[in-house]
Amino acid sequence: MSEVVTAAAPLGLTAELTHRCPLHCPYCSNPLELMARESELTTGQWKSVLSQARELGVLQVHFSGGEPLARPDLPELIEHTANLGCYVNLVTSGLGLTGERLAVLIDRGLAHIQLSVQAADAERADMIAGTRAHAHKIVAAELIKRTGLPLSVNVVLHRANHDQLEGIIALAERMGADRLELANTQYYGWALKNRDALMPTPEQLAAAAPVVRAAIDRLKGTMQVIYVVADYYEDYPKPCMYGWGARQLTIAPDGTVLPCPAASAIETLTLDNATKRPLTEIWYGSESFNAYRGEEWMSDTCRSCDRRSVDYGGCRCQAFLLTGDGASTDPVCKKSPDRGLVDLILARPVGSPDFAMRGPKGRQR
Ligand code: SF4
Ligand code: FES
């Protein structure tokens, strides 16, 4: 008999307002085919989607992208969302953030900012961002701190910035961050394309461990430090999204509703659009959200494993991208028959440091 999976209501929505971005980070998880401005939802469509999300149960909305500040209607969307009773977070590069704009966003209900940082110094950071960005981020952090808004600094770690880890932590302290997320790159979208150039070495990861441990201890009570491990090097996969269709959903700039930000990579999924089908119906009843809920879809390897309630069989996008089957055991898992694929990737000689920079043309650097 088929397992009946009853989903709980989602807690969080990531609203990818646009794929437009002034930065060109090679580790971006956006798809290689970036959506053009013309395909973006209108202000009215976003408001309708946000209202539906609240009705569905969503309590936290993360405005993200691309760069959400590229949308002139951001204040209006924040106001609408805050008035619905949601906690509003902005995920931004900081480029385009002025004191005046920030004051408006806070006035409309913005509660928290996550600011991305590429490296410890301008030369390296601008090389990774593919544009002069670092100095703007320092100013953005000052502006944010002056308002008293909680600030998280997000740093994606990879081979080209791991050696600056201590400097990055010091920079986040100088910025007055309340929280620092140091996340090793996860390989989707542009990051997957650039995997050979981004993959850290085992030596870098070994050197990072004591630095992170010391920072966590030293900064307890001042700045929360979170470290996301480099999962290819682990024995077991991450509990991606805390389970498929379990807690969160993402809406792409054109209204495509995704069970996780990278889910458009799973070519076998039929994705719905929020302009064509009610969000509640998509969350509870769509093929895409039900594809990997519960345990019935799992391989025997996962279904017979005690860790299945810990990691939910790992990441569905990673499983698809590495094996071509979204229901296979995440190949990061040492029990996966496909673990050899990950080991082969790790055994490759250190690749060229040249990146394909994110952008419509994917220019080389
Ligand atoms: Fe997780 Fe499946 Fe590996 Fe068990 S076999 S640890 S459930 S991925
Ligand atoms: Fe999509 Fe992990 S990134 S399920």
Say how far residue 261 (Cα) sits from the centre of its chain. Answer: 7
CB-ligand 2 contact for 315 (6 Å cutoff): yes
21 is in an annotated binding site: yes
The edge-to-edge listing of strands for the beta sheet with 12-16 is: 224-228, 179-184, 151-157, 112-117, 87-92, 60-64, 12-16, 248-251, 256-258, 272-273
Q: If you average pLDDT over residues 336-351, what whole number do you get?
A: 94
* Proximal ligand: closest to the CA of 299: 1
* Cα(139)–Cα(101) distance, integer angstroms: 13
Taking 70 as the threshold, does the pLDDT of residue 363 lie above it? no
CB-ligand 2 contact for 262 (6 Å cutoff): yes
* Cα(118)–Cα(178) distance, integer angstroms: 18
Nearest ligand 2 atom, CA 263: 1
pLDDT digits (tens, 9 = 90+) for 212-229: 999 999 999 999 999 999
Share of the chain above pLDDT 70, in %: 97
28 is in an annotated binding site: yes
What is the residue with the minimal CA distance to atom 8 of ligand 1?
313
β-pair type (248-251, 256-258): antiparallel
Give the H/E segment covering residue 290.
helix 287-290
pLDDT digits (tens, 9 = 90+) for 24-41: 999 999 999 999 999 999
Q: If you average pLDDT over residues 239-249, what whole number do you get?
A: 95
- Tell me the two tokens of residue 292: 């990997």
What is the residue with the minimal CA distance to atom 1 of ligand 1?
313
Whole-number mean pLDDT of the chain?
Answer: 95
Taking 90 as the threshold, does the pLDDT of residue 269 lie above it? yes
- Using alpha carbons, select from 223, 205, 267 the residue that is nearest to residue 32: 267
What is the residue with the minimal CA distance to atom 2 of ligand 1?
302
Ligand 2 mean position, distance from CA 262 (Å): 6
Instruction: Find out whether 289 and 279 touch, Cβ atoms under 8 Å.
Output: no
Q: If you average pLDDT over residues 333-357, what whole number do you get?
A: 92
* Proximal ligand: closest to the CA of 333: 1
Q: What is the ipTM of this complex?
A: 0.92
Q: Which of 232, 241, 256, 271 to mutate to test the pocket of ligand 2 (most atoms within 8 A of CB)?
A: 241
CB-ligand 2 contact for 263 (6 Å cutoff): yes
CB-ligand 1 contact for 301 (6 Å cutoff): yes
Nearest ligand 1 atom, CA 312: 7
Say how far residue 107 (Cα) sits from the centre of its chain. Answer: 26
Confidence band, pLDDT 50/70/90 cuts, at residue 90: very high
Confidence band, pLDDT 50/70/90 cuts, at residue 4: low
User: How is residue 71 annotated by DSSP?
Assistant: -
* Cα(29)–Cα(90) distance, integer angstroms: 17
- Using alpha carbons, select from 365, 324, 262 the residue that is nearest to residue 31: 262
Taking 50 as the threshold, does the pLDDT of residue 194 lie above it? yes
- Tell me the two tokens of residue 294: 């519960």
315 is in an annotated binding site: no
What pTM value is reported for the model? 0.94
> What pLDDT sits at residue 324?
97
Taking 80 as the threshold, does the pLDDT of residue 74 lie above it? yes
Confidence band, pLDDT 50/70/90 cuts, at residue 183: very high
Taking 50 as the threshold, does the pLDDT of residue 6 lie above it? yes
Taking 50 as the threshold, does the pLDDT of residue 151 lie above it? yes
Say how far residue 212 (Cα) sits from the centre of its chain. Answer: 21
CB-ligand 1 contact for 330 (6 Å cutoff): yes
Share of the chain above pLDDT 90, in %: 93
Q: Which of 333, 336, 339, 342 to mutate to test the pocket of ligand 1 (most atoms within 8 A of CB)?
A: 333
CB-ligand 2 contact for 327 (6 Å cutoff): no
- What is the three-class DSSP state of 361? coil
